[in-house]
Structure 1
Amino acid sequence: MIKLTNVSKDYPTKAGWRRVLSNIDLTINPGERVGILGRNGAGKSTLIRLISGAEPPTLGTIERNMSVSWPLAFTGGFHGTLTGADNVRFVCRIYGVDFEPRFQFVREFSDLGIYLNEPVATYSSGMRARLAFAISMTIDFDCYLIDEVMAVGDERFRERCRVELFEKRKDKAMLIVSHSHRYLKGNCDRFLLFRDGTVEEHKDFEEVYFRYKASLGEGFATKEQMVAAMQ
């Protein structure tokens, strides 16, 4: 279980401190898939970083009784002067797992070929994301944090990501940030709407998407009209 209690997060700006998340209470149980919606800047990615442990909350507590991944396809933790292979070795040492079988998986899954032996600083953003996703799949976590990861790579690579994540790890908990209604509806059983620093939870996808579109100023007169437009 992951439990957030009265969690708030502030960031400094030129105009002073800004509260991005305010008094968030949230529990994520093993095996649950939680979809996250909200306009840009609403705090979705901030929540992912807090749960991952990449940043501490300003106020409140976060309890983690499950192992939690870093945000999938997150490339900020790479050592740019090291090769892709050396970054795999580094992650394996941190988590205390054997390097060779995981390197073979990364080599086959990422399809980076000879570039695995080149410094990551020379990679394109797409190559870095492919390496990051492949490395993420080499460690077995109880909960995966997913921030628009399926936008990585071409259609063939995205399908491989989908199978690896949602089929082979279908028993794992997941937090999924996405603007795609098909992606969220097809993969989640709980839904969170971020608005004005707070979180609304819904079990019904049509209801949360209706409210989400309204928050963008793109609201429909009725949910029936929205559902028809989504077909």
Structure 2
Amino acid sequence: MIELRNLSKSYPTLNGRRYVFRNVNFTFPPGANIGLIGRNGAGKSTLLRLLGGIDQPDEGAVMTDKRISWPVGLSGGFSSTLSARENVQFVCRVHGAHGAELRERVAFVEAFAEIGDYFDLPMKSFSSGMRSRVAFGLSMAFEFDYYLIDEVMAVGDAQFKSKSREVMMQRLRKANVIMTTHSMGDIRQYCNIVVHVDAGRVTVYEDIEQGILAYQGKPEDK
């Protein structure tokens, strides 16, 4: 169960607070792979951050009994003065991994990222691509009930993208995905439910094509 209860979220602007969501009540369909779609500025990424605990609502709450990932590939939380290894170790400890389990997860990320000796250098020396490799590998080092994906499924060259998609599909054999993307091809490939975000409203479409039509602003066939 993932439920939004009386959820409100706003941000300060020069013209006052801008509400992205106001008193939203919504329950995500259980056991579904969800495509979270909407126009730019509709609040898709904000909702994803709220679901992943990266951001907090002004009022209300996200209620769930599921293990939900942070947005896959998120690298904004890394400390640039620490090495990739130290950052990964810190996240592993936060998520309860210690001893042999911690070493196993760190080894997985190191092998997955394929950045060689850079893994033990401060992350301020990394390119954006190297940071993304570590971030994606760290997301895949844990098993969640739901993986949150914000636009980017994988980074790097063709070989690395192929490897990333392969491990992601392995995770989704036992888990579900909530994905936000402007690629309707990805929505059709990975999702079986569309959740359309528009002007602070959240609407479920069990028919993928009807959801895409709503997003594209086209009338549904009668």
TM superposition score normalised by structure 1: 0.88
d(CA) in 2 for partners of 1:222 and 1:56?
A: 35
Q: Which residue of 2 aligns with 1:27?
A: 27
d(CA) in 2 for partners of 1:19 and 1:138?
A: 35
> Among 109, 113, 116, which residue is 1:110 paired with?
113
CA RMSD between the two structures: 1.8
Alpha-carbon contact 2:20-2:200 (below 8 Å) kept? yes
Q: Which residue of 1 aligns with 2:140?
A: 137
Aligned-partner SS, 2:216: helix
Alpha-carbon contact 1:142-1:173 (below 8 Å) kept? yes
The percent of aligned pairs where both chains have the same amino acid is: 40
Amino acid of the structure 1 residue aligned with 2:6: N
Sort the Cα spacing of 1:26 and 1:162 in 2 relative to 1 into closer, same or farther, 3 A.
farther
d(CA) in 2 for partners of 1:59 and 1:90?
A: 30
Amino acid of the structure 2 residue aligned with 1:124: S
Q: Where in structure 1 do 4 or more consecutive aligned residues deviate above 3 Å? A: 28-31
d(CA) in 2 for partners of 1:152 and 1:134?
A: 11
Deviates more, 1:11-20 or 1:55-64: 55-64
d(CA) in 2 for partners of 1:138 and 1:200?
A: 32
Q: Which residue of 1 aligns with 2:186?
A: 183
Amino acid of the structure 2 residue aligned with 1:58: D
Deviates more, 1:199-208 or 1:36-45: 199-208
Residue deviations 1:3-43, cap 9 Å, x none? 11221211110000111123333323653211011111110
d(CA) in 2 for partners of 1:147 and 1:207?
A: 22
Alpha-carbon contact 2:154-2:164 (below 8 Å) kept? no
Alpha-carbon contact 1:85-1:117 (below 8 Å) kept? yes
Amino acid of the structure 2 residue aligned with 1:156: Q
Amino acid of the structure 1 residue aligned with 2:179: I
Residue deviations 1:143-171, cap 9 Å, x none? 21111131522222222222211233322
Q: Which residue of 1 aligns with 2:43?
A: 43
Amino acid of the structure 1 residue aligned with 2:66: M
Structure 2: where are the runs of 5+ without partners? none
Q: How does 1:48-127 map to 2 (within 5 A)?
A: 48-97=48-97, 98-127=101-130
Q: Which residue of 2 aligns with 1:152?
A: 155
Alpha-carbon contact 1:4-1:25 (below 8 Å) kept? yes
d(CA) in 2 for partners of 1:173 and 1:8?
A: 25
Sort the Cα spacing of 1:19 and 1:222 in 2 relative to 1 into closer, same or farther, 3 A.
closer
Deviates more, 1:95-104 or 1:119-128: 95-104
Q: Which residue of 2 aligns with 1:7?
A: 7
Alpha-carbon contact 2:210-2:220 (below 8 Å) kept? no
Sort the Cα spacing of 1:30 and 1:171 in 2 relative to 1 into closer, same or farther, 3 A.
farther
d(CA) in 2 for partners of 1:195 and 1:29?
A: 18
Structure 1: where are the runs of 5+ without partners? 224-231
> Among 143, 162, 167, which residue is 1:164 paired with?
167
